[in-house]
A = this chain, B = another copy of it.
Amino acid sequence: MSLKINLNADMSEGFGAYDIGADDALLDYVTSANVACGFHGGDFRTMHRIAARAAEKGVSIGAHPGYNDLWGFGRRRIVMAPKDVELMVAYQIGALQALAAYSGIAVTHVKPHGALNNVAAEDADVAMAIGRALKTVDPALIYVALAGSRMEQAAETLGLTLAREGFADRQYDDAGNLASRSIPGTVITDPAKAREQVLRMVQHGEIVAMSGKVIAARVDTICIHGDEPTAVAVAQAVTRGLAEAGIANVPLTAMDLAR
């Protein structure tokens, strides 16, 4: 049986005069795009543009909802009731669906952004709230969830299709969580190291934590961050590594996902 994996990246996070990330370059390597929806970044123009480019390239798209916080880029936790988070996520999914209609493609997954993703990973109520937004707006939406997190449990509880996410360019702690960006060296900028981490995840279902500890991790999709200057080099190394290992890099919709 041949191996396959999905590569995803966060996109559409600039807006107006503000450019951020390497969206166009990354669309040549990833097979799914997480599209920021105007709350932590992005606007209707970037959403429309990325959906159009993704459609051209056969890249599947998902909503990348965040807190309503341009100044903090969605990286600051805003303490909100879970029901409010749910409706905020639904709003952003719907907005992207409308802009994806311009390209005739469907929104097929949802991956929360930044602080919202961190909160959802640890807080079952928030993880469930996000899942309910998916289930209400479109029950076929794939819930992209940090492997082993509360989000994974929420997807299972709600009967949603689940994509377990790993990271190409971030280090892990022994519990399988992402080590904080504030710890030096936790962002992997060496393409060779990112490639090795990805191949180990896909071929062996393992991650090597910062401490050297080997953690079991089944992942369906691997994120490459676009906001590092090394993002494109990492994406190249990872996709080459996958190709040389005979592993197919496919849209999230072509993965065999748990439900």
Residues of B within 8 A of A189 (CB): none
Contacts A17-B73, A101-B136; A91 near B95 (Cβ below 8 A): yes
A4 interface contact, C-beta 8 A: no
CB contact between A98 and one of B19, B71, B77, B97 (< 8 Å): that residue: B97
Query: Complex formed: what's the CA distance from A19 to B71 in Å?
Result: 12
Chain B: CB-nearest residue to A15 = B71
Q: A17-B227, A94-B94, A95-B95 are in contact. Are A78 and B69 (CB under 8 A)?
A: yes
Which of the residues B68, B72, B94, B102 comes within 8 Å of A80, measured between beta carbons?
B72
How would residues 7 to 27 of chain A score, 1 for a CB under 8 Å from any chain B CB and 0 otherwise? 000000111111110000000
Q: Which residues of A contact B (CB under 8 A)?
A: 13-20, 38, 41, 43-45, 47-48, 68-73, 75-80, 84, 87-88, 90-99, 101-102, 115, 133, 136-137, 227
Copies of this protein in the assembly total: 4
Contact A70 B72 (CB under 8 A): no
Docked pose: A73 CA to B19 CA in angstroms: 12
Whether the Cβ atoms of B91 and A80 lie closer than 8 Å is no
User: Top 10 A-B pairs ranked by shortest CB distance?
Assistant: A94-B98, A17-B73, A44-B87, A18-B18, A44-B91, A94-B94, A77-B79, A90-B98, A95-B95, A91-B95
Is the Cβ of A78 less than 8 Å from the Cβ of B76? yes
Contacts of A79 in B (CB 8 A): 76-78, 115
Q: Which chain B residues lie closer than 8 Å to A68 at the CB level? A: 69, 71
Q: List residues of chain B with CB within 8 A of the CB of A80.
A: 72, 76
A8 to B: closest C-beta gap in Å: 19
- Shortest distance in angstroms between A245's beta carbon and chain B's nearest beta carbon? 34
Query: A101 with B70: in contact, given A44-B91, A87-B45, A95-B94 (CB under 8 Å)?
Result: no
